[in-house]
């Protein structure tokens, strides 16, 4: 087996890609993990103290439907997207900085006992904002301009040394000349077809016309998919400005995704979006439309595609709709079955701030959106001050929901008691 090192990797790196954790070849690859001897124990993130006490106090202001309660699950610095391990052993939490964290609740008490950096011997990652699992236990970490794969991460997370494989090499997701801190999230999901799907946000508020063809071909401002080894990359959805959350409906297998729309058009326009893709190749209207059916100034004189797919739900303008998931658990009342929970991070440039809440969208029998309403809110007070900014919403195996908050640096757990 050929062994190579990634530029920033001090742990062992296997250069061969993986297709299935169940094959004899892949199991043999896992045996190649070796210790660097550089870190005997990974430092833990403290879970008690004044910060934890203050967050618990702030949670008393969160409004939920009757019978629900919210609690502090874990302190996780800069917590962004959540990937719950398919075996229920560990949850991985991304950041928009340089680290990914492993979070464990060994006692299944509803509170994490341990939070620590995942694979610290890899050194600093580059905006590892997207994390997602395959059903057979492979963790994918999507960075600003690359994708990494970690076989059996749920079981090797205890060690500072890991087996890791590059799915997309550094610099190959987007053109290097448009790498920036603008729209860097690469939310990901492994689809029903066992392919890896990820979002590529536009690096501009509205892209220049001279780069439209290039971006269209690459899927910049879209959703792309590829085999799990990085082969057969294609653009699945076009006309997407900056999606930071996607999930597949477990019933009809359609892909849904949030989208953040054009800034600088006013407080009340354009709306945020929750979209449904029913097949490959659909166009969702950007940059002709800044959000919903609101035309952009830059492309107002240009004719949009005739078959633009408009959003299933128009959200509040500039509320920053991010992570989302379908509810399949048994803890919540029946009306929440197959509903979409999504996080609104909160506005950054509105005269009157809006968002900082968790929304729920109910679906009709035909799979289209029925209605959307707030589910958990109160992280934004009446004076326009943020106490938290939700990023992602994902389900634990017991049917409760985890909500990440990169402002407070925390994970919250929402459960239902009926009382």
The pLDDT mean for the chain works out to 92
pLDDT at 160: 85
CATH classification for the domain delimited by 24-416, as one of 3.40.50.300, 3.40.50.1000, 3.90.1300.10, 2.120.10.30? 2.120.10.30
Residues recorded for the chain: 419
pLDDT at 338: 98
Q: How confident is the model at residue 106 (pLDDT cuts 50, 70, 90)?
A: very high
Q: Which residue has the higher pLDDT, 21 or 102?
A: 102
Q: In angstroms, rounded to a whole number, what is the distance separating the alpha carbons of residues 128 and 138?
A: 16
pLDDT at 5: 35
The answer, yes or no, to whether residue 2 has pLDDT greater than 90, is no
Over residues 129-173, the pLDDT tens digits come to 999 999 999 999 999 999 999 998 998 898 888 889 999 999 999
pLDDT at 181: 81
Overall pTM surpassing 0.85 (yes/no): yes
- DSSP designation for 58: H
pLDDT at 113: 96
3-state secondary structure of 44: strand
Q: Are 47 and 115 in contact (CB under 8 A)?
A: yes
pLDDT at 9: 38
Q: In angstroms, rounded to a whole number, what is the distance separating the alpha carbons of residues 230 and 147?
A: 9
Q: How confident is the model at residue 32 (pLDDT cuts 50, 70, 90)?
A: low
Q: What residues contact 166, with CB distance under 8 A and at least 6 apart?
A: 6, 13, 15, 17, 146, 147, 148, 149, 230
Q: Which of 341, 351, 296 is nearest to 321 (CA)?
A: 341
Burial (CB count within 10 angstroms: exposed 0-12, middle 13-18, buried 19+), residue 86: middle
Over residues 314-343, the pLDDT tens digits come to 999 999 999 999 999 999 999 999 999 999
The answer, yes or no, to whether residue 179 has pLDDT greater than 60, is yes
Burial (CB count within 10 angstroms: exposed 0-12, middle 13-18, buried 19+), residue 394: buried
**Distance from first CA to last CA of the chain, Å, rounded?**
58
């Amino acid at each position: 087996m050929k062994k190579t090192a990634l530029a920033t990797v001090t742990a062992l790196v296997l250069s061969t890609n993986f297709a299935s954790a169940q094959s004899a070849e892949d199991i043999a690859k896992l045996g190649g993990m070796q210790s660097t001897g550089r870190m005997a124990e990974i430092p833990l993130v403290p879970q008690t103290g004044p910060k934890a006490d203050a967050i618990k106090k702030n949670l008393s202001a969160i409004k939920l439907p009757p019978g629900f309660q919210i609690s502090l699950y874990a302190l996780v610095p800069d917590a962004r997207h959540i990937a719950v391990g398919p075996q229920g052993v560990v949850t991985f939490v991304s950041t928009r900085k340089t680290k990914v964290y492993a979070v464990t609740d060994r006692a299944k008490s509803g509170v994490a006992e341990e939070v620590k950096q995942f694979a610290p011997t890899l050194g600093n990652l580059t905006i590892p904002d997207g994390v997602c699992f395959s059903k057979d236990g492979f963790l994918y970490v999507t960075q600003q301009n690359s994708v990494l794969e970690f076989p059996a991460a749920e079981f090797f997370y205890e060690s500072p040394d890991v087996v890791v494989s590059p799915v997309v090499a550094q610099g190959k997701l987007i053109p290097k000349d448009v790498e920036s801190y603008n729209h860097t999230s690469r939310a990901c999901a492994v689809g029903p077809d066992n392919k890896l799907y990820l979002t590529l946000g536009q690096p501009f508020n509205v892209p220049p016309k001279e780069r439209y063809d290039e971006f269209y071909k690459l899927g910049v401002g879209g959703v792309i998919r590829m085999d799990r080894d990085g082969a057969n990359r294609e653009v699945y959805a076009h006309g997407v400005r900056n999606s930071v959350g996607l999930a597949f409906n477990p019933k009809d297998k359609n892909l849904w995704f949030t989208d953040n729309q054009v800034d600088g058009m006013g407080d009340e326009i354009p709306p945020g979006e929750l979209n449904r893709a029913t097949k490959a190749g659909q166009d969702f209207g950007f940059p002709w439309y800044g959000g919903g059916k609101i035309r952009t100034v830059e492309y107002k004189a240009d004719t949009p595609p005739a078959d633009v797919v408009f959003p299933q739900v128009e959200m509040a303008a500039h509320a920053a709709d991010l992570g989302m998931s379908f509810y399949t658990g048994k803890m919540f009342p029946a009306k929440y079955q197959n509903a979409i929970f999504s996080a609104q991070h909160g506005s950054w440039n509105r005269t009157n701030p809006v968002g900082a809440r968790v929304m729920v969208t109910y679906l009709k029998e035909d799979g289209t959106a029925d209605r959307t309403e707030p589910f958990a809110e109160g992280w934004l007070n009446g004076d326009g001050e943020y106490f938290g900014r939700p990023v992602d919403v994902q389900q634990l195996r017991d049917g409760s929901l985890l909500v990440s908050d990169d402002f407070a640096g925390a994970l919250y757990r929402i459960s239902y008691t009926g009382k």
